[in-house]
Structure 1
């Protein structure tokens, strides 16, 4: 089997907040008539530069056309030299490699007539507990808006939430107090996510301020790649500490310095299913737990993460992939399903990822390129349509 063609399609998918996130749909054709699909998810984030989609397609074709799609490790090695790790959380090279790697897994699983989870080693679970994100407060009036989000999503079955914190601690505390008062034990706060906004000492002060409230863990409580600061925070904190994995060098340093309890692993941030499995295995060897992270993918990317999570033995914490619930639309005929706060893994009887592109839907959201327009840093961080004065 040989790769005969690659296609990239850009879509601009609006979130319910009004912010438009741009994603790239990947299609890889083989000479047996099969097509694998993948997703380069959510390019609309820092760093503030865009890619030329036509140039990207030319490079990918030069690297992959005529190769065997089952040579996934070799393809990742080649693409790793084209788009190397850069020790940055939202490194776009990882997004590129993830989309290709996902499509290769989908294509190979289809060729074998099995699901991607079987290609990854087989399922341990059929569903994954997930949380719904509550985005960061900058203004006190946003507290009521976010409490309304909890109320609405709880009615839909989402009983666990991840709270982005660190910009307005008074508003963060007011939100947690309201949640405790109104919902009590019906709602769980999975984590306080500092998103590297504060240096570790300030994050520790905030964590101590909030420890009267019931939450399960703390995420990203130090600036990026401050492994020593992360270790100091972990030694002084009352809760388990989680951090994303965005490069193997970074994960090595976190293991070496024993900086975290839980590795937040997402294919989009580490460069694909192949790399995500390696990161999860490294965590297992180090005696660490995992959760599946997110950049808020559409259904193709979320299905990929569902298959990954279904096969991980050390997935011990609530995960994050609820991206399809944040957008007004999707790109597949049958979006991934959630039930009672769980992401359901697409069926065993569906070859590949178990999702099929819907070109009528894609046509509605298709755009020409990945250009930005006039977007502020605050909009990029909060995924809002406009920044309040």
Structure 2
């Protein structure tokens, strides 16, 4: 079997906040008539530059056409040569490699008539506990809006939440106090996510202030790639510390500096399922915990993470992938499902990821390019369309 063509389709799908996230749907065609699908998820991030999709398509055709899709390691090696790791959280090359690698896995599993989870090691579980995100407060009036999010999502079965913090600590504290007063033990806060907004010393002060409330871990409490700062924060805190993994050099430095307790692993940030499995194995060897992170993917990207998580022996913390719940649309005929706060791993009765493209939905959401127009910095950071200054 050989890859005969590559198709990239850009879609722009609104979140419930009104912010439009752009994704690239990947299709790999073969001479056997089997098509693999993947997702380059949520390009609408800083840094503020975009890729030319026509040029990207031509480049990927040069790399992929004529290749045996089962040569996943060899293809990934060539992808890294063309789209290298850059030690940056939202590096667009990682997004590209993730979408292609996902499509390769979907294609190979379909060729074997098995699920991707079975292709990469077999299922350890059929559902994955997840948490719902509460986006960062900039204004005090957003506290009640976010408490309403908790009410709504708790009624849907989501009882664990992660809170982005660090821009308005008064509002963060008011929200945590509101959760404690209204919901008590019915709701758990998994993490406070500082998203590298503060240096580690400032993060220590912020987390100490919020430590009167219950939460399990702190995420990204130092500037990007400040491994010593992460270590210093960890030594001064009683809470567990987690960090996203976005390159193998960064992963190595975090292990070397003993910077974290938990590796937050997401294929989109490390560059695909192949790389994510390596990162999870490194965490296991280093005696660190794992959780699945997210950029808030559509159903294809979320299904890929579900299959990854189902196959890991060391997925030992509540994970983050709830992207499909945050969008007003999708591109597949039947999206991933959530039940009682769990992501259900799809594909027991379908090969690959268990996802089928819906051409009508793709046509509805298709856009020309990955540019942002006049979207502001705070909108890119906080994933909101609010216009408050």
Query: Could you say which TM-score interval applies, normalised by the shorter chain?
Result: over 0.9
CA offsets 1:163-197 (integer angstroms, 9 cap, x no match): 00000000000000000000000000000000000
Secondary structure of 1:215's counterpart equals coil
SS of the residue 2:216 aligns to: strand
Note if contact 2:23-2:40 (Cα within 8 Å) is conserved in structure 1.
Answer: yes
Mapped to 2, the partners of 1:301 and 1:347 lie a distance apart of 14
**Alpha carbons 2:262, 2:290 under 8 Å: kept:** yes
The answer on whether the counterparts of 1:378 and 1:387 sit within 8 Å (CA) in structure 2 is no
C-alpha distance in 1 between matches for 2:266 and 2:50: 22
For the residues of structure 2 that align with 1:58 and 1:136, how far apart are their CA atoms? 38
**Does the 8 Å contact 1:244/1:293 carry over to 2?**
yes
How far does residue 238 in structure 1 lie from its aligned partner after superposition? 1.0
Aligned to 1:337: 337
Question: Partner of 1:10 in structure 2?
Answer: 10
| Mapped pair 1:70 → 2:70 | yes
- Separation in 1, partners of 2:244, 2:223: 12
Report which stretch shifted further, 74-83 or 344-353. Answer: 344-353
* 1:134 paired residue number: 134
Give 1:266-281 correspondences, 5 Å limit. Answer: 266-281=266-281
Segments of 4+ moved more than 2 angstroms: none
Structure 1 partner of 2:45: 45
Q: Deviations over 1:51-84 (max 9, x none)?
A: 1000000000001100000000011000101000
1:284 correspondence with 2:262: no
User: Equivalent residue for 2:94?
Assistant: 94
Shift of 1:205: 0.8
Name the residue aligned to 1:57.
57
Distance in 2 of aligned mates of 1:204 and 1:238: 11
**Counterpart in the other structure of 1:381:** 381
Query: Are 1:263 and 2:263 an aligned pair?
Result: yes
TM-score calculated relative to the size of structure 1: 0.99
Looking at structure 2, the residues matched to 237 and 348 of structure 1 have their Cα atoms a distance apart, in angstroms, of 42
1:348 matches 2:343: no
Alignment length (residue pairs): 389
Which residues of 2 match residues 1-389 of structure 1 at below 5 A?
Answer: 1-389=1-389
Structure 1 position 371, deviation (Å) = 1.3
Q: TM-score, normalised by structure 2?
A: 0.99
Q: Contact conserved, 2:347 with 2:353, CA < 8 A, in 1?
A: no
**How many angstroms does 1:352 deviate by?**
0.2
**In structure 2, C-alpha distance between the alignment counterparts of 1:125 and 1:144, rounded to whole Å:** 36
Deviation at 1:252, TM superposition (A): 0.1
Query: 1: CA distance between counterparts of 2:114 and 2:387?
Result: 46
Superimposed CA distance per residue, residues 98-157 of structure 1 (whole angstroms, 9 cap, x where no aligned partner): 000000000000000100000110010100000000000000000000000000000000
Distance across 2 between alignment mates of 1:153 and 1:45: 25
The alpha-carbon deviation at position 350 of structure 1 amounts to 1.0
Q: Cα RMSD between the aligned structures?
A: 0.5
